């Protein structure tokens, strides 16, 4: 990537800078070093969540490691991928630690954007679930440490369902509702329960959220082949799932034009009967004025229950000049049960560390008083029986971008079969440059 062709202009730009009277704060960039860097100082940590989420873990870490400070920078999820690609390929020393979505580990590692953490392998194997252990590996090396795990719940508006005379779903995973049931009940709530919409998924254009729809119908993950670079999004399962999904918007059951993560307020305002969201909502919705409850995520009639899983890991930027401190923080926030628990106290999400998880899961029942009763049992059940990870592929980042646009178009009324065919073509094109 580095080219000498333009070394001359570097002199020119230095001259221009001198001329302009402002010097750039530049350090020579370089390859990843094993140099741990200074013992004390300030490390920067970049992620997608609100700053408040990480305040407790940063405080706990700073208390335990006097002399080290951590500053957190948020980049919204929509911009995170593109911005991080730019900054990491610039060998930006301004990022020491960053959050890594588990399926992206392969590509980031292949591009040299993650520091090899394989010396922690044995510890990681015992501290995390087998699937978390596996997804943070690429080519037999460990590149990032799992921080969180996730699942999805079906939230329902109790008042609206009662008004529409619908018996709400129960928290028992054995009595899980089907999407067909949810749709019918949602329509009743729109007619008689006073809600504007029947059903809304929290991230309506995210692969994480929609993969389970296709998997429930046996459609597979959408990626196949030995190198995991062959698109398979035109299976019957994908087609059927997307037809159904597109129809929920066409019929007005779900609203168009409200983007991912602007969806929660719609449920909190009482405008929708059913909402599919994550563990963080267990607490967020607690402050809303409406009465609600939780149930397991639905599946398709005739299909099998499938739920999403996986979440953010933490990785170290190889360009960081503070590898030692960065690793200390990463280890504290994941391998140390207390540190890992601290990452989940503001935004309620499942800690990946098994020790932390044991303490955490039972509390989930009471995040919002009686409303969240049953959440703990659902979480345990899903992780043992229904959780399906997102596919591991060096092409996952492109896959997610392409599918995100396809989901947006299907949501807005494009014929789903044709759009999936289009996605296959776009994936083939995008992956050509990787192969």
Partner 1 sequence: MKRISLSVLGGAVGILFFLPLLWVVTNSLRPGSETFANLSPLSWQTFLELRPTLTNYSALLNSPIGRATLNSILVSAATVVIGLAVCATAAFGLAAFQFRGRGLVFGIVVLSFLVPFDAIAIPLSTMFRDWQLTNTFAGLVLPGIGNGMAIFLLRQFFLGIPAELVEAGRLDGLGWFGVFRWIYLPLSKPALIGAGLMLFLFQWQAYVWPLLIGTDANHILGPVALSNLQGQNFTDYGLVFAGAVVLTVIPLVVIAGFQRYFVQSVSSTGLK
Partner 2 sequence: MRQRQGLIALAFLAPALVCLAVLRIVPAISAVVESFYTESLLRGGRVFAGLGNYTDLLSNKDFRQSVGVTLLFTVLVNPIQVAVSFLLAVLFTQRAAGAKLWRTLVILPIATPPAVSAVIWSVIYRPDGLANGVLERLGLPAQPFLTSPSQVLPSLIVLLSWIGVGYWMLFLIAGIQEVPEEVREAALLDGAGPWRRMISVVLPLVRRPLAFVLVADTVSNLLVFAPVQILTKGGPNGNSNLLMYDVYSRAYAIGDIHVAQAEVVILVALTLAIVAAQFRLLRGDQ
- Contact residues for partner 2, defined by CB under 8 A: 1, 5-6, 9, 12-13, 15-16, 19, 81-83, 85-86, 107, 110-111, 227, 255-258, 394, 397-398, 401-402, 404-405, 408-409, 411-414, 419, 425-426, 429-430, 432-435
Alpha-carbon gap, residue 170 to 46, rounded angstroms: 39
Q: Calculate the CA 103 to chain-centre distance.
A: 9
Window contacting partner 1 (CB under 8 A); options: 31-39, 91-99, 115-123, 155-163: 91-99
- Closest CB to partner 1 among residues 24, 66: 24
**413 interface partner picked from partner 2, partner 1, none, CB below 5 to 8 A per type:** partner 2
- Closest CB to partner 1 among residues 10, 370: 10
- Closest CB to partner 1 among residues 62, 417: 62
Alpha-carbon gap, residue 298 to 179, rounded angstroms: 6
- Closest CB to partner 1 among residues 135, 203: 203
Backbone angles phi, psi at 268, to 5 degrees: -60, -25
Q: How many CA atoms lie within 13 A of 14 on its CB side?
A: 8
Sheet holding 197-201, edge to edge: 197-201, 272-277, 153-157, 292-296
Enumerate residues 6+ apart whose C-beta is below 8 A from 353.
Answer: 127, 128, 146, 334, 335, 336, 337, 340, 341
What mask of x and - would describe binding to partner 1 in positions 37 to 76, judged by CB under 8 A? -------x----xx--------------------x-xxxx
- Closest CB to partner 2 among residues 64, 111: 111
**388 interface partner picked from partner 1, partner 2, none, CB below 5 to 8 A per type:** none
Alpha-carbon gap, residue 197 to 141, rounded angstroms: 47
Site for partner 1 in 362-401 (CB under 8 A): none
**21 lies in the binding site for partner 1 (CB under 8 A):** yes
Alpha-carbon gap, residue 71 to 329, rounded angstroms: 12
Alpha-carbon gap, residue 364 to 353, rounded angstroms: 16
Query: How many residues form the binding site for partner 1 (CB under 8 A)?
Result: 45
Given 15, 17, 122, 370, the residue binding partner 1 (CB under 8 A): 17
165, β-bridge pairs: none
**90 interface partner picked from partner 1, partner 2, none, CB below 5 to 8 A per type:** partner 1
Q: What is the largest CA-CA distance in the chain?
A: 76
Question: Would you say the C-alpha torsion 197, 174, 345, 88 has a positive or negative sign?
Answer: negative
Output the smallest distance, CB 33 to partner 2, in A.
Answer: 20
Given 262, 301, 363, 412, the residue binding partner 1 (CB under 8 A): 262
Site for partner 1 in 114-133 (CB under 8 A): none
Cβ atoms of residues 245 and 234 within 8 Å = no
Alpha-carbon gap, residue 143 to 136, rounded angstroms: 6
- Closest CB to partner 1 among residues 285, 381: 285
Alpha-carbon gap, residue 212 to 222, rounded angstroms: 11
Output the smallest distance, CB 12 to partner 2, in A.
Answer: 5
Cβ atoms of residues 88 and 112 within 8 Å = no
User: Which chain residues interact with partner 1 by CB under 8 A?
Assistant: 2-3, 6, 9-10, 13, 16-17, 20-29, 44, 49-50, 71, 73-79, 83, 86-87, 89-92, 94-95, 261-262, 264-265, 280, 284, 347
């Amino acid at each position: 990537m580095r080219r000498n062709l333009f070394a001359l202009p570097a002199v020119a730009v230095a001259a221009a800078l001198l001329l302009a009277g402002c010097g750039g704060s530049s350090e020579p960039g370089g390859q990843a070093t094993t140099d741990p860097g200074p013992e004390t100082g300030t490390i920067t940590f970049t992620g997608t969540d609100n700053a408040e989420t990480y305040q407790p873990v940063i405080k706990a870490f700073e208390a335990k490691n006097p002399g080290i400070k951590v500053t957190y920078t948020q980049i919204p999820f929509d911009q995170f991928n593109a911005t991080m690609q730019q900054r990491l390929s610039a060998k930006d020393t301004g990022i020491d630690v960053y959050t890594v979505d588990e399926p992206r580990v392969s590509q980031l590692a292949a591009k040299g954007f993650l520091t090899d953490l394989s010396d922690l392998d044995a510890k990681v194997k015992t501290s995390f679930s087998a699937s978390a252990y596996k997804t943070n590996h690429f080519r037999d090396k460990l590149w990032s440490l799992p921080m969180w795990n996730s699942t999805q719940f079906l939230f329902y508006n109790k008042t609206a369902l009662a008004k529409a005379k619908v018996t709400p779903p129960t928290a028992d995973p054995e009595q899980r509702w089907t999407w067909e049931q949810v749709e019918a009940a949602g329509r009743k709530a729109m007619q008689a329960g006073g809600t504007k919409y029947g059903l809304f998924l929290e991230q309506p254009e995210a692969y994480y959220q929609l993969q389970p729809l296709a998997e429930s119908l046996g459609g597979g993950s959408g990626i196949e082949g030995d190198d995991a670079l062959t698109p398979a999004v035109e299976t019957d399962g994908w087609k059927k799932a997307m037809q159904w999904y597109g129809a929920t918007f066409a019929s007005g059951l779900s609203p168009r034009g409200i983007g991912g993560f602007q969806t929660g307020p719609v449920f909190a305002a009482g405008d929708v009967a059913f909402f599919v969201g994550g563990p963080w909502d267990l607490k967020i919705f607690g402050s809303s004025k409406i009465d609600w409850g939780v149930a397991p995520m639905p599946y398709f009639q005739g299909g099998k229950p499938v739920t999403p899983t996986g979440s953010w890991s933490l990785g170290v930027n190889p360009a960081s000049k503070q590898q030692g401190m960065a690793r200390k923080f990463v280890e504290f926030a994941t391998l140390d049960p207390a540190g890992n628990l601290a990452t989940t106290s503001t935004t309620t999400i499942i800690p990946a560390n098994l020790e932390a998880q044991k303490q955490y899961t039972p509390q989930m029942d009471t995040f919002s008083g009686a409303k969240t009763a049953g959440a703990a049992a659902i979480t345990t059940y899903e992780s043992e029986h229904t959780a399906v990870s997102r596919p591991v592929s060096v092409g996952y980042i492109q896959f997610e971008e392409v599918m995100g646009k396809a989901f947006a178009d299907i949501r807005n009324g494009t014929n789903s079969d044709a759009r999936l065919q289009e996605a296959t073509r776009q994936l083939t094109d995008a992956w050509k440059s990787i192969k």
